[in-house]
Amino acid sequence: MLITKSSFGKLQNGVEVSLYTLLNDNGVEVAITNYGGIVTSIKTPDKNGVLENVVLGFNSLEGYISDEYLQGYPYFGCIIGRFGNRIANGRFTLNGKEYRLAINNGPNHLHGGNVGFDRVVWDAEEVVQAGKVGVKLSYLSPDGEENYPGNLKVTVIYSLSDDNKFGIEYFAETDKATPVNLTQHSYFNLAGGRGDILGHQLQIFCDKRTQLNENAIPTGGIIPVEGTAYDFRELKPIGKDIAGLPDGYDRNFVLGNEKGELIHAAKLVESNSGRVMDVFTTEVGLQLYTGFWIPEIKGYDGAQYGKYAGVALEAQHFPDSVNHPEFPTTILNPGGQYNQKTIYRFSTFH
């Protein structure tokens, strides 16, 4: 097990950004920058032992702050907060007060606003424990940042273990009631970042999803996936039923995990490489996004990205939960602690 730190470049305001590389005894390597908590690469072996990067990203900081990337900003690999996913019309009412947030996705608020946790520099600390290495990222989101209430103290711990588990654990505390819905926005391409993900096979271990309106906002309904393009109860190619979906998949699946236990949520398989990724989470929902809006851009090691270049499996609470009292709550109160965990486990088959 090894962890190294190197320079990743400077932001336009002169702030230096670092890159932390985690390496386990199997050669699996995860690189993380404290800018946005971005996972820039995850290198895992295929069935023949060949190491390749299986997430979308860039080799340098410049890629993440370029106009070309930000114009069609796909949130490669970053921490999302304070609130992942959409809030209808950028409005919610809490304890009798209405809060108005940035409208940055059609008529809605998306992923915490114009400058969410994906665009800030986090404090970073190396973590070494028995059987794993990691990085502890900390950020204090001040009261009123992006119009959210309360000083929110956030900690995210990334870890890599010798059994090829990449873990993400989230903690948060506040001094004023506030919505919190943190997630991680990596896009996976288990073929080593080549081609699209339509041939990847996906299984999601649940039978329901949230029903959405025309603006991608939940109606409040929870509907079965059976007999629809959203039925991933058995392994099937992502591209099998995608033709009938104008923008591909971008939906929240209901995991039925109200107790918050660490459950097996999904499995992703790429047969040519033999790579398998299993997703475990304490969360109640899993957002499947197949990257329809990924811009045509050169990425990590010159890989050509574009529509369907990667698939995001984002463990989180339901979209617009703040406006749906019938959904599991996303409100964190003073004295309480937000704590969620997601694990991506990598393996191969022959």
The catalytic residues are: 185, 314
Strand extents, DSSP E, 12-131: 16-23, 29-33, 39-45, 51-53, 79-80, 86-87, 91-94, 97-100, 109-110, 123-129
Rama region for 195: left / alpha / beta (φ>0; ψ in -120 to 50; rest): left
Q: How far apart are CA 314 and CA 316, in angstroms?
A: 6
Q: How far apart are CA 8 and CA 171, in angstroms?
A: 26
Question: Which residues, 6 or more positions from 127, have their beta carbon under 8 angstroms from its beta carbon?
Answer: 133, 134, 135, 136, 157, 159
**Class of residue 47 by CB neighbours under 10 A (exposed 0-12, middle 13-18, buried 19+):** middle
Q: Does the N-terminal peptide bond of residue 82 adopt cis geometry, omega within 30 degrees of 0?
A: yes
Q: How far apart are CA 38 and CA 28, in angstroms?
A: 17
Phi/psi at 62 (5° precision): -55, -35
Strands 275-281 and 263-270: antiparallel
Q: How far apart are CA 270 and CA 38, in angstroms?
A: 24
Residue 178: both structure tokens together: 């506030």
The DSSP secondary-structure symbol of 48 reads T
Phi/psi at 88 (5° precision): -60, 125
Phi/psi at 86 (5° precision): -100, 150
Residue 141's SS3 state is: strand
